Amino acid sequence: MAGAGFFAGLANATVNASTVLILAGLGELISERAGVLNLGVEGMMLVGALTGFITTVVTGNYWLGLGVAILAGGAMSLIHAFLCISLNSDQAVSGIMLTLLGTGLTTFFGNSYSGNSVSGFPERTLPLIGDLLVEIPVLGPALFQSTVTDYAALLLVPVVWLFLYHTNIGLELISVGEDPETADTMGVDVFKMRYLAVIIGGALAGAAGAHLSLAFNQIWSASMTAGRGWIAVALVIFARWRPERILLGAYLFGLFNALQLYSQALDFSLGAGAPLAGVLNPVIDFVMNPTIMSTYPYLATLLVLVITVIRAENRELAQPSALVQSYSRETD
C-alpha cells in the first residue's frame, strides 16, 4: 500500500502545507527579532487572503491581488506597530485585538465572496531545468511543480537569512531586539527599525494569506486560515528564531498536517497475535488519532523549548532578549 506513489503524495502534501507557514513564520520571525511579538498573524493573513481575492476577482490580475494583499497585511501591522512601538502598548493585547479585528472584518466583508472562485497563480515548472527537476522521484513534483508563491517562500529563506545576518540593516534590526538601549547609543534608530520589522512581518503574513486564496485554494472562505497563523507563531519558537530552521520546522509541521490525512489510508495497529497488541493498539489509536495529531506542532514546539533550556548550560534560548519589551527614550 505504501509505495512510491504514497510517499510522493505525502511529500507533495508536506511541501504544500509548508508554504503558508514559511511565509507567515518568516514574517513573524523578523518582527520578533526586532523585539516585537505580533499575535495578529491570523488576522493579518485573513485580511491578506480576502483583499487579494477581491482584487483578483475585480481586476482579474492575481499579481495585483498579491500586491494588494501584501500592502493590506503591512497596513494592518502598522496598527500594531503604532500601538506597541509608539504608544508602548502591550504587545500581546494589541496582537490579539488585531486577530479579532481581522477576523471580524473579513467575515463581514467577505460574506458575498464565499463560494466565488478565482483563477489564480498556476503551477509552473522552473524555466530551463524545471522539466528535468520534476523527474526526480518523490520530491521532484513536490518541489518543482509549484506556484510562484511556493518558489518565493523557498527563496525567501536564504534571503531573510542574508538580510538578517549579512546586511547592516539586518544586524541593526537584530541588535534592536537584543538590547535597544545599546543599539540606541550606537546610533540605531530603534523606533524606525522596529516599525520596519513589524511592517515586513505584516506584509509577509498578507502574502501568506494571498497564497491560500490565490494559489493554493483559489477561493475565499471565512476563517479559511483555520489556525495556521497560530501555528506560524509556534513555528518561530520551534525554529528558535533562526530563519533557516523555519524551513525545517515548516516541513515538519507540514508533515504532521499531511500525515493527518495520509495516515488514514494506513493501518498501524498490530495484529491480534502480536505481543502486547492489547496494550499497544489503544496507544497507537490514540497517537494516530487525527485530532490528537493536530496538537503535534504545539507539542513539538514545547518539547524544543524544554529541551533547549534544560540542556543549554547558559540557558541560551536564542530568544531575542528584548522580546515583548517596549522601549522608550527618556528625554528628560
Least distance CB 128 / another protein (angstroms): 26
Least distance CB 178 / another protein (angstroms): 13
287 forms part of the interface with another protein (CB under 8 A): no
Please pick, from the candidates 58, 59, 61, 92, the single residue that binds another protein as defined by CB under 8 A: 92
Please pick, from the candidates 30, 232, 233, 247, the single residue that binds another protein as defined by CB under 8 A: 233
Contacts 24+ apart (CB under 8 A), 257-261: 257/13, 257/14, 257/17, 257/297, 258/10, 258/13, 258/14, 258/16, 258/17, 259/10, 259/293, 260/290, 260/293, 260/294, 261/13, 261/290
Other CB atoms within 10 A of residue 13 CB: 19
Interaction mask 45-84, another protein, x per CB under 8 A: -x--------------------------------x---x-
The stretch among 6-14, 55-63, 64-72, 145-153 that binds another protein (CB under 8 A) is 6-14
Least distance CB 69 / another protein (angstroms): 16
Please pick, from the candidates 218, 232, 251, 256, the single residue that binds another protein as defined by CB under 8 A: 218
Radius of gyration of the chain (CA): 21
Other CB atoms within 10 A of residue 309 CB: 12
Cβ distance to another protein smaller for residue 152 or 224: 224
Least distance CB 205 / another protein (angstroms): 14
Interaction mask 104-123, another protein, x per CB under 8 A: xx-xx--xxxxxxx------
How far apart CA 24 and CA 208 sit, in angstroms, is 6
Least distance CB 289 / another protein (angstroms): 7
User: Using an 8 Å Cβ cutoff, are 148 and 121 in contact?
Assistant: yes
Contacts 24+ apart (CB under 8 A), 261-270: 261/13, 261/290, 262/6, 262/9, 262/10, 262/13, 263/288, 263/290, 263/293, 264/290, 265/1, 265/6, 266/1, 266/2
> Which residues in the 14-33 window bind another protein by CB under 8 A?
16-17, 20
125 forms part of the interface with another protein (CB under 8 A): no
Q: What would the grid cell of residue 178 be?
A: 537584543
> Which residues in the 149-178 window bind another protein by CB under 8 A?
none
13 forms part of the interface with another protein (CB under 8 A): yes
